[in-house]
Amino acid sequence: MERKESSKLYKEACRYIPGGVNSPVRAFKSVGLDPLFVKEAKGSRITDVDGREYIDYIGSWGPMILGHGSQVATKDVARFIEAGTSYGFATGAEVDMAKLIIEAYPSMDKVRMVNSGTEATMSALRVARGFTGRDKILKFEGCYHGHSDALLVRSGSGTLTFGVATSAGVPADVVKHTLVSGYNNIEELRNVFSQHKDEIAAVILEPIAGNMGVVAPELEFLSELRSLTKEQGTVLIFDEVITGFRVAYGGAQSYFGIEPDMTCLGKIIGAGLPVGAFGGKAEIMDCLAPLGPVYQAGTLSGNPLAMKMGMNVLNHLRDHPEIYEDIEDKAKFLEEGFLKNIKETGAKAQVVRCAGMLCLFFTDREIKTYQDVMTCDTEMYARYFSGMLDGGILLAPAQFEGIFLSAAHTKEDLEKTLEVNRMVLKEMYNG
Ligand SMILES: *Cc1c(COP(=O)(O)O)cnc(C)c1O
C-alpha cells in the first residue's frame, strides 16, 4: 500500500538526516519499506501523515503505558512550562521523583536522574567500576543497554536487525573489558565467573529480554546470577528501562522476587519525555560526585517538565495496580489468539509471553536463548509486518522487538488485531 506523504517526507529527510531518521529502527530497513511519518496519536491509535489510522503496538517503544496523549500524563504540565522549563538548579520535583522511585523499588536507597536509558546504563557501569575498583563487566548476548561504547557488543534490536556484531567506531581497547555470556545459559555463566574470579565489576542484564524479541528468563538462571554476584562482590545491575513500571509497578525485580544491587530505568518514567534514572544501594551510589570520586553530570538531568509528566504517570500507576493485571490479561488474550491462528494456518511461528510483554517469532524452534531467536525467518516477518500494516495494525518494523501494550488498548483493538493476524498468516502460509 502506498503512503505518499510519508514517502515524500522520507525523501526530503534523507537529504538532511543520516538515513532520514534519528534512530535506526525507525527507517523500516529490515522490512524493506519506506518509514512511516506520524501526524498524531491518541489512546491506542496512531495517525500517519497520509491520514491513515493504525492500532499502535510500539507505544514509542515503551513509554506510553497509558496510551498516547494521556490527560493523566499532561495534567498541570502547562503550569510547569510557564514557570520556566529548566534552571540548572535543584527543584522539589526532583526530590518527589526520587522518593517515588525509591518507594517503588526497595532495592534502591538512592537514585540519580539522567536524560536517556543509554546514559543510565553507562553511568551505572561507571559507578559499579568505581565502587569495586574492577574493570571487567559482563553482559548477555542479545541484551541491549543503549549505545554507549562498552555495551555495544552483541546487543539486540537495531544491531541484531542490521547484523552489526560490534559497531564501527568502537575501539577494541574499549570493549576488551566487556565479557559476553549466553542468556539463560547457567553453565556458561558459572564458567565466566570461575575464569574471572573476583575480577568482574558488574553484570548487567535485561531481567526480561525485550530487545531480541521477548525472551523470558529462567528463574534458576536469575537466582544463580544473584548468588554468583553476591559471592564474588560483583554489582548486579538490572536494566529495567523497558520492564520498570511495565511488568509490575516494582518492575521485573518485584515480579520475580530477585533484588539487584543497582537498577536502570527510562522510558515509562518520562511519560514520553527524554528521561533515564539509575540507582541502588547507598554505599554504591555515594561513590558519585559530589560525594565520591566517580564523575557523572547532566545539564538537563532531572528537568522539571520530565519530572512532572513522569510523576503524573507513576502516581497513576501506583494508585491503579489493576492496570498491570489488565495489561497482562490483554497480553494473554493476544497470546491465545495468535496461537490459535498459528495452528489454524499452519504458520511456522512461536509466541513468547512474559507478564505483559509479548512477541511473535517466525521460527519452529522454541525460544529460550539468543541462538533460538537467531533461527527466525526475518523475510517472513517483513511480509507479516507489511500485511499487518496494510490491515491497520502497527507493529515494530523488525522481528527482534516485542509488542507494547497499554491501558488504552480496547477489547475491540485486540479482536481486530487477531482477525488481521489470522488473515495475514493465512495469506502467507496458504495463499
Ligand atoms: C531503550 C533501552 C535502553 C536505551 O534507552 P534510550 O533512552 O534509548 O537511550 C537501554 N536499555 C534497554 C533495556 C532499553 O530497552
Per-residue DSSP letters for 204-273?
EE-SSB-SSS-BPPPHHHHHHHHHHHHHHTPEEEEE-TTTBTTTBTTHHHHHHT---SEEEEEGGGGBTB
Of 267, 324, 330, 413, which one is the catalytic site residue?
A: 267
Report the C-alpha gap between 407 and 146 in whole angstroms: 26
Residue-wise pLDDT tens for the chain (431 aa)? 889 999 999 999 999 999 999 999 999 999 999 999 999 999 999 999 999 999 999 999 999 999 999 999 999 999 999 999 999 999 999 999 999 999 999 999 999 999 999 999 999 999 999 999 999 999 999 999 999 998 988 765 555 444 344 688 988 888 889 999 999 999 999 999 999 999 999 999 999 999 999 999 999 999 999 999 999 999 999 999 999 999 999 999 999 999 999 999 999 999 999 999 999 999 999 999 999 999 999 999 999 999 999 999 999 999 999 999 999 999 999 999 999 999 999 999 999 999 999 999 999 999 999 999 999 999 999 999 999 999 999 999 999 999 999 999 999 999 999 999 999 999 999 87
Q: Taking a C-beta distance cutoff of 8 angstroms, is the pair 130, 296 a contact? A: no
Which numeric CATH code is attached to 4-69+321-430?
3.90.1150.10
Q: Residue 411's Cα: distance from chain center in Å? A: 24
Instruction: Centre a 10 Å sphere on the Cβ of residue 195 and count the other Cβ atoms it contains.
Output: 10
Q: Which of 390, 303, 263 is nearest to 114 (CA)?
A: 303
Distance 361 CA to ligand 1 centre (A): 21
**Structure confidence by residue, pLDDT tens digits, 63-106:** 999 999 999 999 999 999 999 999 999 999 999 999 999 999 99
Distance of CA 171 to the CA centre of its chain: 26
Q: Is the backbone peptide bond immediately before 290 cis, with ω within 30 degrees of 0?
A: yes
Q: Hey, where are the domains in the chain?
A: 4-69+321-430, 73-319
CATH number of 73-319: 3.40.640.10
4-69+321-430 shares its CATH topology with 73-319: no
Residues with CB under 6 A from ligand 1: 116-118, 121, 144-146, 206, 210-211, 239, 241-242, 266, 276
